[in-house]
């Protein structure tokens, strides 16, 4: 690797102002000096509107841990769009994402991707990963929330005889249930893996209002490290249940010596923004890029910049990863999650969840 | 949801919180400049505003259409250019053979011209930024030209495109070297105008590099010592890498086949051919007969419509084939480029008839002509203004 870099630097004497990768890209699209890329190797339809896309990443990719996600860049009508997707392949194998057609970008990925296509990538990240030390696990998933958990199940279940995993997966119907067959097969083959398919079309949503249903599906749920991934409401309800149980637990056995703390690790796919606030907004100036854009008070500055063609750093687009931080030069911004207006010159702001509150200057 | 303002005046130099307030060159929302240029003096404020709206509509139309086909276009041009460059340099490796030398030098000249004109100039204008591709972006691109991209973007995109043809403001009127407007005072050294221009043509990239240092601003104290140091350093680095590639590294490789000297001469020739071509095309942009220059009163109070007027009557097109347009980097559509400097260059041809129609309807000149005529016309100006004399 290091030798390759030295070689590239030597070769750039011949290619400047281009990098040697720019020339190599003529022959293999994975090469780029600036942008990690991958080539699609296989596309497997999962349900009517989801598919798994396997890809071979170029140099610079880090092997993923089970449960992590990566940002994937896709071109829609010539414009690059970035979204985050959980990796569904087990750790140690070439990466794959499983995508459900829920928007313009995922729609293109599901319907139009074919082997040989180039995907733009950012290295995998995320803390929704398996515990360091073996513990009995409870996985609660709903809809496409199964994808990171699938990577965990595939990593753990076939390779660890000591694994003890219970998965409760909600989907509307069996047809909508991603990985339905594979999960059933794994459960048949490995006694240490138990799956409950919960079809909301038949039985309604899983009730986290009380512990009753959970007791029935997994009586020892309190002893398990719990993981949850799914839509906002599903996670909020699960979180509420776990925190009230943890409070009760604390009361019964106070102090730091409580044997098995009740834990729930969650992975959110979306964050609700106070969208369309309707007021404020203003002229946004991207100083180094020489762009000025009139923006409304409900659009994240990240979107405003991207629409103006500014190369905005971006990440999760939900206010958690801080990949999109930019220094504010002047003006104030509104946090779209809370409605709070803040900002001082020099402050780093999260452009993905901040909108203009009056004129704003950004240092990019 | 959002609207992009294409004002070229966006670069803000102040660093404090007041950055948003003082924006030199920002356009007035209504009214007229203190003096409307003579060629547009017959227009009322309302007519100018209406014409501005029509031009905005042309721009909006392209923005709505811009997409995958445009992205494919620039990627294709880049691919062809890199192919030409590799083939050219490969042929020069066998430069001892005369046919190989001619082929190699021709291919490399074409590659360098494409790289500077259709690719570099236009990417550095931000014409392809909307793709959000870091490999083809105005903030990351560097070109095969001595002047560093960032320095050029400042003097060209910001100063020249904002102050187009305003004598005393737009230094592109003569590049601080030639007397190119009758309103510039005559000095004895202007007698050398044609000689300077003839020398400038084959070393044009060096002229631009020195021009981008803004030496006059530095002498007058308008440019800080730090900025000067920074620019000199950037230029020095660029000169070294460019020199090493063209005149040391690639000839060294060719020495392996005994064609070192030939490769060196071939590259030197290709750079000179590119320089002469770029010089010719760029001189056709604002200097031929018919392209007007302006005074500062004509800019004071300028509205968006008047800004458009100035871009149109201050620029000149070149008529010709599709291939010619490509090789000029579509600067043959100089008028359209100055109206919409950040629209993708492949769209200027389709916009041109609409712009020409607007000029005709509003009684404004639309200067265009074949390459040789325009080159001749700008050279005529170089000769004429070598001698003292006022505007006729």
Using 50 as the pLDDT threshold, list the residues of chain B that sit under it: 1-25, 392
The dihedrals phi and psi of A169, each to the nearest 5 degrees, come to: -115, 125
CA gap B276, B287 in Å, rounded? 16
- Within-domain flag for B391: no
- Locate the domains of chain A by residue range: 22-121, 137-268, 282-362
Beta pairing partners, B180: none
Sign for the pseudo-dihedral over CA of B173, B175, B180, B185: positive
Average pLDDT score over chain A: 89
Q: Residue B79 is inside which H or E element, if any?
A: helix B68-92
Pairing, β B3-5 against β A291-295: antiparallel
User: How do residues A68-119 score in pLDDT, each as one tens digit?
Assistant: 999 999 999 999 988 889 999 999 999 999 999 988 899 999 999 999 999 9
Average pLDDT over residues A301-307: 92
Q: What is the CATH number of domain A22-121?
A: 2.40.30.10
- Interchain pair A285, B66: CB under 8 A: no
Per-residue model confidence as pLDDT tens digits over A226-241: 999 999 899 999 999 9
CA pair distance B1, A5, nearest whole angstrom: 44
Helix ranges restricted to H, chain A:
2-15, 20-24, 104-112, 146-156, 180-189, 200-203, 212-217, 232-252, 301-307
Taking CB atoms and an 8 Å cutoff, what residues of chain B touch A359?
20
A106: left (phi over 0), alpha (psi -120 to 50) or beta: alpha
- Would you identify the CATH topology of the domain A137-268? Rossmann fold (3.40.50)
pLDDT at A272: 53
Structure tokens at A359: 């004129």
Domain assignment of residue B193, given as a range: 33-384
To the nearest whole Å, the CA of B290 is away from the closest chain A CA by 31
The C-alpha angle B88, B91, B92, rounded to 5 degrees, equals 90
Q: Identify the three-state secondary structure at position B359.
A: helix
- Spatial neighbors of B267 by CB under 8 A, at least 6 apart, are B92, B108, B246, B247, B250, B251
Question: Which residue in the set A32, A78, A309 is minimally distant from B71, CB to CB?
Answer: A78
Give yes or no for a contact between B245 and A13, defined as CB atoms under 8 angstroms apart.
Answer: yes
Give the confidence band of A2 by pLDDT, cuts at 50, 70, 90: low
Which pLDDT score is estimated for A227?
Answer: 97
Which 8-state DSSP code applies to residue A309?
T
Is the distance from CB of A223 to CB of A136 less than 8 angstroms? Answer: yes
Q: Would B10 be classed as within a structural domain?
A: no
Q: What angle do CA A148, A149, A152 make, to 5 degrees?
A: 100
Q: What does the pLDDT look like over B147-199, one tens digit per residue?
A: 999 999 989 988 899 899 999 999 999 999 999 999 999 999 999 999 999 99
Distance, in Å, from the CA atom of B319 to the CA atom of B327, rounded to the nearest integer, reads 13
Q: How confident is the model at residue A1 (pLDDT cuts 50, 70, 90)?
A: low
Q: What global pTM score does this model have?
A: 0.87
The predicted structure's pLDDT at residue B72? 97
For residue A343, the model assigns a pLDDT of 85
* Distance to chain A for B197, nearest Cα, Å: 28
**Is the residue at B314 inside a domain?**
yes
The count of domains in chain B is: 1
Residue B6 domain-assigned (yes or no): no
Q: What Cα–Cα distance (Å) separates residue A145 from each residue in A140, A153, B296?
A: 9, 13, 63
Q: State both tokens at A297.
A: 């008070």
Q: Determine the Cα–Cα distance for residues B143 and A141; give it in Å rounded to an integer.
A: 51
Pairing of strands A193-199, A225-230: unpaired
Percent of chain B with pLDDT over 70: 93
Closest Cα in chain A, distance from residue B244 (Å)? 7
Contacts of A306 in chain B (CB under 8 A): 132
Q: How much is the pLDDT for A338?
A: 78
Q: What is the pLDDT of residue B19?
A: 32
Task: Kindly report, residue by residue over A270-298, the tens digit of the pLDDT.
Answer: 555 544 444 678 999 998 888 889 999 88
Q: Which CATH superfamily is domain A282-362 in?
A: Beta-grasp domain (3.10.20.30)
> Do the Cβ atoms of A309 and B129 come within 8 Å?
yes
User: Which residue in this structure is represented by tokens 């100055």?
Assistant: B338
Cβ atoms B317, B298 nearer than 8 A: no
Q: β-strands A165-171, A193-199: how paired?
A: parallel
Distance from CA of A35 to the nearest CA of B (A): 7
For residue range B274-323, list pLDDT tens digits in order.
Answer: 999 999 999 999 999 999 999 999 999 999 999 999 999 999 999 999 99
Say how far apart CA B311 and CA B334 lie, in whole Å: 9
Pairwise CB contact (< 8 Å): A309 & B134: no
Count CB pairs under 8 A between chains A and B. Answer: 132
Q: CB distance B135–A32 less than 8 Å?
A: yes
């Amino acid at each position: 690797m290091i030798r390759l870099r030295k070689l590239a630097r030597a070769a750039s004497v011949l290619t400047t102002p281009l990098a040697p990768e720019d020339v190599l890209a003529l022959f293999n699209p994975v090469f780029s000096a600036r942008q990690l890329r991958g080539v699609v190797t296989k596309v497997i339809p999962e349900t009517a509107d989801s598919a798994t896309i396997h890809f071979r990443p170029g140099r610079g990719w880090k092997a993923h841990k089970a449960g992590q996600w990566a940002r994937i860049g896709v071109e829609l009508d010539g414009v690059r769009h970035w979204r985050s997707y959980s990796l569904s392949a087990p750790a140690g194998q070439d990466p794959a994402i499983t995508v459900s057609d829920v928007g313009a970008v995922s729609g293109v990925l599901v319907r139009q991707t074919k082997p040989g296509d180039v995907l733009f990538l950012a290295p995998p990240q995320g803390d929704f990963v398996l515990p360091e030390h073996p513990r009995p696990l409870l996985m609660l998933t709903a809809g496409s929330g199964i994808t990171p958990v699938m990577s965990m199940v595939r990593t753990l279940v076939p390779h660890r005889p000591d694994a003890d995993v219970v998965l409760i997966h909600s989907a509307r119907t069996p047809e909508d249930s991603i990985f339905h067959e594979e999960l059933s097969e794994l459960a048949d083959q490995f006694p240490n893996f138990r799956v409950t398919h919960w079809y909301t079309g038949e039985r309604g949503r899983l009730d986290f209002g009380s512990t009753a249903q959970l007791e029935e599906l997994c009586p020892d749920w309190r002893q398990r490290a719990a993981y949850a991934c799914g839509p906002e409401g599903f996670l909020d309800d699960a979180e509420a249940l776990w925190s009230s149980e943890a409070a009760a637990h604390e009361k019964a056995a106070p102090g730091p010596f409580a044997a098995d703390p009740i834990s729930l690790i969650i992975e959110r796919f979306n964050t609700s923004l106070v969208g369309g606030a309707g007021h404020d907004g203003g002229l946004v100036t991207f100083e180094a890029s020489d762009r000025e854009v009139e923006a409304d008070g409900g659009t994240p500055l990240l979107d405003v910049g991207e629409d103006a063609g500014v190369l905005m750093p971006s990440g999760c687009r939900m206010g958690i990863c801080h990949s999109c931080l930019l220094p504010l030069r002047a003006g104030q911004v509104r946090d779209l999650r809370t409605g709070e207006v803040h900002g001082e010159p020099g402050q780093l702001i999260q452009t993905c969840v901040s909108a203009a509150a009056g004129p704003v200057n950004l240092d990019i | 949801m959002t609207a992009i303002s294409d004002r070229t005046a966006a670069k803000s130099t102040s660093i404090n919180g007041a950055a948003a307030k003082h924006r030199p060159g920002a356009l007035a929302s209504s009214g007229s400049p203190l003096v409307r240029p003579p060629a547009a003096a017959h227009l009322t404020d309302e007519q100018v505003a209406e014409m501005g709206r029509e031009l905005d509509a042309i721009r909006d139309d392209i923005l709505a259409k811009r997409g995958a086909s445009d992205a494919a276009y620039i990627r294709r041009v880049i691919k062809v250019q890199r192919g030409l460059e590799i083939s050219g340099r490969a042929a020069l490796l066998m430069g001892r053979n005369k046919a190989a030398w001619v082929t190699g030098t021709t291919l490399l000249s074409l590659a360098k011209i494409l790289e500077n004109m259709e690719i570099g100039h236009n990417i550095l204008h931000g014409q392809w930024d909307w793709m959000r591709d870091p490999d083809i972006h105005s903030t990351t691109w560097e070109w095969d030209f001595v002047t560093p991209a960032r320095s050029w973007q400042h003097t060209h995109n910001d100063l020249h495109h904002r102050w187009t043809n305003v004598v005393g403001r737009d230094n592109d009127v003569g590049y601080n070297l030639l007397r190119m407007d009758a309103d510039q005072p005559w000095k004895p050294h202007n007698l050398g105008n044609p000689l300077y221009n003839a020398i400038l043509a084959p070393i044009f990239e060096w002229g631009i590099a020195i021009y981008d240092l803004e030496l006059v601003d530095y002498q007058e104290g308008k440019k800080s010592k730090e900025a000067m140091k920074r620019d000199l350093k950037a230029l020095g680095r660029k000169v070294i890498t460019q020199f090493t590639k063209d005149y040391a590294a690639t000839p060294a490789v060719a020495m392996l086949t005994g064609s070192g000297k030939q490769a060196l001469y071939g590259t030197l020739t290709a750079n000179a051919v590119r320089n002469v071509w770029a010089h010719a095309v760029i001189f056709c942009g604002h200097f031929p007969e018919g392209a007007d220059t302006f005074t500062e009163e004509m800019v004071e109070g300028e509205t968006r419509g008047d800004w458009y007027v100035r871009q149109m009557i201050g620029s000149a097109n070149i008529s010709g084939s599709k291939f010619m347009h490509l090789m000029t980097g579509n600067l043959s559509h100089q008028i359209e480029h100055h109206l919409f400097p950040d629209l993708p260059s492949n769209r200027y041809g389709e916009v041109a008839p609409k712009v020409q129609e607007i000029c005709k309807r509003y009684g404004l000149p639309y200067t265009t002509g074949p390459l040789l005529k325009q080159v001749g016309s700008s050279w005529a100006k170089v000769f004429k203004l070598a001698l003292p004399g006022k505007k006729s």
